[in-house]
Amino acid sequence: MIYDITQPLFECVVFPGDPKPEKIPLRRMTEGSAYNLTSMSLCLHNGTHVDAPFHFLQDGKPIDRVPLTKFIGPAWVEGHTGDVTAEDAEAMLASAAASGTGAEKRILVKGPATLSLEAARVFAAAGIDLFGNESQTVGPENAPAAVHRVLLGAEVVLLEGIRLARVPDGPYLLNCAPLNLSGCDGSPVRAVLLDLGAFFDAASRKEGDRTAIAQNGSNGPASLPPGAPCAAASAVNTSASGTGLSSGADADAAPAREGTGAPPSSAQS
């Protein structure tokens, strides 16, 4: 199962005062051009995006200098409503660690949650790589700076404006790699989650196929079980296409081809 946890960019939540993303047609075949060509204008913190340390720290790393390993790897999804306290943060880390997947390095909070300064300190001290939530900010909407500085100061990447309503709690493989924007404070992303259970099942089947091939000898394609070369990929693609999840404005997380989601209330990016 692949979950698309990204807002559609041109219909995304925009914090008051930030410029809205704009699609600018440059060439249209309907107007006699030989091709379609589009430009766009946006704030780097529109919709689903990541914050680099440079966003709140003048000497912090810009987005192109943050290691990609921060954005790609095991992650833990957990629902929460209200303030995330230090005790809540410790419990999330413990649950993630208990999964045995390494998901405690990236924590994604589902629901209308506000990360407290005390919880931010817990996550910073734990040395996590990334913290994400559904709000357009991390921390209190009216005063997010302190929480940002604690986390970004510890080089914890912030993933804001994700959509997790249809994602069950648990461990996943996250990919939210940013654009390679030299010297910038953030970047829009296409954030996706891969069900780790399906991933490991597919990998296990593929390893079984390799074992069967070794036992049968290397006599060419005839010794391959049907579909073996694509075991992992077919498992994921079949799950993604056969879920029946809807796409468009009524889906908060859906297969990677389309999903969108009705955004919660906006907050400072």
Whether residue 17 is contained in a domain is answered as: no
Whether residue 249 is contained in a domain is answered as: no
- Which parts of the chain have pLDDT scores under 70? 198-205, 207-269
Whether residue 191 is contained in a domain is answered as: yes
- Output the six-digit token pair for 45: 């913190």
CATH code for the domain in which residue 60 is found? 3.50.30.50
Whether residue 193 is contained in a domain is answered as: yes
- Output the six-digit token pair for 263: 């955004």
Whether residue 124 is contained in a domain is answered as: yes
**Per-residue model confidence (pLDDT) at position 230:** 37
3-class SS shares of the chain: helix, strand, coil, % to 5: 35, 20, 45
Distance CA 264, CA 266 (A): 6
**Per-residue model confidence (pLDDT) at position 262:** 42
**Per-residue model confidence (pLDDT) at position 15:** 81
Whether residue 38 is contained in a domain is answered as: no
Whether residue 255 is contained in a domain is answered as: no
**Per-residue model confidence (pLDDT) at position 142:** 85
Total of domains in the chain: 1
CB atoms near residue 113 (< 10 Å): 20
Rg (CA), the chain: 21
Segments forming the whole domain that contains residue 154: 2-11+45-197
Helix (H, G, I), strand (E, B) or coil at 162: coil
pTM comes to 0.76
Task: Please enumerate in sequence order all residues whose Cβ is within 8 A of that of 135, keeping only pairs 6 or more positions apart, or say none.
Answer: 112, 113, 114, 141, 160, 161, 264, 265, 266, 267
Distance CA 203, CA 99 (A): 18
CB 53 within 8 A of CB 158: no
**Per-residue model confidence (pLDDT) at position 254:** 46
**Per-residue model confidence (pLDDT) at position 214:** 60
